[in-house]
Structure 1
């Protein structure tokens, strides 16, 4: 209770020792600062329900460790299952036929592009910028139309150029592709908003970088398929082999860090994987060269591992005899000559590139992820992260395989498609008729066709010309 002089204090304590002070000033106004009475319990720790349990301090770390173990176990199981799924899809599509591999490469292109673009699309949504995502997909479609069209026209001229509907698209394909791109360019300029110019131009550059690093390089992987399944399968397997042995050699005897972008990569693992990749490349090449399904260019998209393909093998797959220079001729215990196909020398170069250069595609991807402070490009593959995380080295390896093949291995000769293209683009209709007549007469002289075929063509082509 307060006393009569107006400056008194009273404090009442509860049985638990909580205070409830009251103050009165000289003017007679009272200010109270109430504090809820809180029961105090002598607890050292509580469970999830808020109450103490026995041996809590002992069981806590064990439960935490067990939880982490279960999480790692589940991640490992998921990763292993999806690894088997990817292996099954890869080999199943490869044996089913070239068209199925092309479909998978197309899907990889689109998913990888989506993952890379998604990194920069988050701020665009925050800024409420219109048409940013639409333009990204438009440029992807335009680029794929141009690249796919180039491949189809190049490898299937004998089909495309004789079709009345496809002929205009084939002869004017590049101009159509250019105009489609210009339309996107104009639309981008028209969508620029004041105050966001720098950001939008950054997005424009980012989109084109993704198109070049993913879509364009994947296009050359597709061309490798048309040239022969071996030129697709070998580069892919070399990268996978190098990645596996880099991990094995690294954890076995790796000591020296290779690059700061990937702290777990070691020099010992890098070199050890190079040696192992060369050895496996020689063995795998020796097996694949025996099957025409792998070494023949695609002339039938309906072919599969059971129907096979027929062609005249590229000379690179035919064994040649080489003299061993450092063995004297009078030595009879050691062979002085060896029969080796030139492809075995080429695989040495390809294995070296897959081991020493292709991993920098992965380092580039690691630097890109560190720039945006992300662990993976996405979660397209459960347990493995994004599609781009698995394909970062494959893109540059496929690009190299195409360039190397075209520069040192491909045999250039006249084809039915190239002859038809030259006749269509370089001759008038009257001159094309004369070419057909001349070919018919030549085939008759060679005994390939009868005289009735020549007479029929001469009569009907002459009448068509008059009309």
Structure 2
């Protein structure tokens, strides 16, 4: 009996090296095999302990090995490493975008226009792609072609409208550009009609629903992206401040909504974005107004920001010259109530009207513009996607970053045209009226009248009116 007990002990101590024989021995003796819960080996007196080296056994023996203990740690380390790499990528591209934004803005208006153009093309591509069915798009050769054709036609129309409006004095006096300028809208309409006819002739049986869905989706993308980006373009022509301020207000609101939300946010704002809170929404509104007030006070001091574009070659170093809009000139306002003397508050305040306008713009950026982001969130949930694309590493698609900017830029243009713009005759508008509304003889009379007026003012010598009178009279005689 003692021999059997001693033999069993020796066999149990050598279990790590001979697992199969050990199991056979236990079966023959009717004993239980050890398990992961740390069950003790069956002995007569129960005081025998397993050696430490026995815990490095393989998985076949049922004991947890050292490699198995390290596996969760390695997995956890890989996840943290992945998050760290994502954070680094996101941070690097954030600084890259900031550098591109400020670099283009200081380099000149034309570079900002190029950036806006690239943004709207990339955003259009991303929005079109989420509703596309690759298998059907491959079988229908002209689906993508029509999408890009309508994009080109729309951009031709909108860009042409802006160039003609802001650069009449250049376009209307050029022999080559004059026909395109005077018939621009008709040309744009005919280009669209050609695309419409091509779409109808490309309809194929069995694909009607898909093709009409793509047609409607394309037009929605054109309206939500390209048309709104057109008004952002016009903001640039009106003055860099009308582009920079709306963009900055949206970014500021987004940052402080996140900070306020994680700091004291408790109440969910909207189900489309579960992480948005009412506290973060209101806190970001207050912070955006304060930042907007301070930023406007700085930008108003530089004509490069407040002057409309009259030279596309201008930059931050050359600057621009203009008569400032009255909205940027400080006025003295009387406080509507008389404060008590013990408060030492002034009865008047010297402030520019722009500081009042920025309150409305900051409010829109805080309370309305975020709904552009909510709209984009609902669209992504509809198609069960996380991002619109991967155009910006670490940030998703371009549309994910611009969802609030489009509607904000649209609002800034409408607000400027309604409450701030000063409407007066310009050189371009006078030339446009003379060319489109007057005959050649009447235009000559205008030229002679202007020459005589300039001579009377001492701006030109007597030879210019005399030369014009002699030559224009001869030209009129020949025409008759």
- Aligned match of 1:421: 432
Number of the residue aligned with 1:180: 191
SS of equivalent to 2:320: coil
Q: Which runs of structure 2 are paired with 1:127-166 in the superposition (5 Å)?
A: 128-166=139-177
Corresponding residue for residue 330 of structure 2:
319
How many angstroms apart in 2 are the aligned matches of 1:330 and 1:227?
44
CA RMSD of aligned residues (A): 2.0
Superposition pairs of residues 411-450 of structure 1, within 5 angstroms: 411-450=422-461
Output the CA distance in 2 between the equivalents of 1:453 and 1:285: 47
Any unmatched runs of 5+ in structure 2? 1-20, 25-56
Q: Distance in 1 between matches of 2:350 and 2:432?
A: 40
Change (3 A) 1:423 1:331: farther
Question: Structure 1 residues 339 and 45 mapped into 2: Cα distance closer, same or farther (>3 Å)?
Answer: farther
Tell me, in whole angstroms, the C-alpha distance in 2 between the residues paired with 1:96 and 1:209: 33
Q: Deviations over 1:51-105 (max 9, x none)?
A: x994233111111110010000000000000000000000000000000000000
Could you tell me how far apart the structure 2 residues matched to 1:375 and 1:239 are?
22
Q: In the alignment, which residue of structure 2 is the partner of 1:390? A: 401
Matches of 1:332 and 1:383, distance apart in 2: 52
Q: 1:78 maps to what in 2? A: 89
8 Å Cα contact 1:121-1:133 kept in structure 2: no
What is residue 13 of structure 2 aligned with on the other side? Answer: none
Contact 1:45 1:56 in 2 (8 A): no
Q: 2:243 matched to 1:232?
A: yes
Partner secondary structure for residue 462 of structure 1: helix
Residue 44 of structure 1 deviates from its aligned partner by 3.2
**Partner of residue 227, structure 2:** 216
Q: CA deviation at 1:203?
A: 0.6
Measure the CA separation in 2 of the matches of 1:120 and 1:466. 66
Does residue 194 (structure 1) correspond to residue 187 (structure 2)? The answer is: no
What's the counterpart of residue 304 of structure 1? 315
Conservation of the 8 A alpha-carbon contact between 2:59 and 2:65: no
Q: Match of 1:269?
A: 280
How far is the alpha carbon of 1:170 from its aligned partner? 0.3
Could you tell me which residue of structure 2 aligns to residue 60 of structure 1?
A: 71
Partner of 1:31: none
Which of 349, 352, 361 is equivalent to 1:341? 352
Cα shift at 1:332: 8.6
Hey, what's the Cα distance between the residues in 2 that align with 1:127 and 1:98?
40
Identify unmatched segments of 5+ residues in structure 1. 1-14, 18-41, 47-51
1:249 equivalent in alignment to 2:260: yes
CA 1:126–1:288: 2 relative to 1, 3 Å: closer
Structure with the higher helix share, 1 or 2: 2
How far residue 460 of structure 1 moved from its aligned partner, in angstroms, is 2.2
Task: Find the counterpart in structure 2 of residue 113 from structure 1.
Answer: 124
Q: Distance in 2 between matches of 1:134 and 1:43?
A: 62
Cα 1:226–1:64 change in 2 (3 A) is: same
Q: What SS does the aligned partner of 1:121 have?
A: coil
Partner Cα distance (2:243, 2:145) in 1: 32
Q: In the alignment, what sits opposite 2:34?
A: none
Change (3 A) 1:45 1:199: farther
2:300 pairs, out of 286, 289, 295, with 289
2:217 and 2:352 map into 1 onto residues whose CA distance is 44
Match of 1:87 in 2: 98
TM-score of the aligned structures, taking structure 2 as reference length: 0.86
2:416 equivalent among 397, 401, 405: 405
Q: Name which of structure 1's ranges 455-464 and 211-220 shifts more when overlaid on structure 2.
A: 455-464
* 8 Å Cα contact 2:137-2:143 kept in structure 1: no
Correspondence for 1:44: 59
Indicate how the Cα distance of structure 1 residues 45 and 327 shifts in structure 2: closer, same or farther if over 3 A, else same.
farther
Structure 2 distance, partners of 1:464, 1:96, is 47
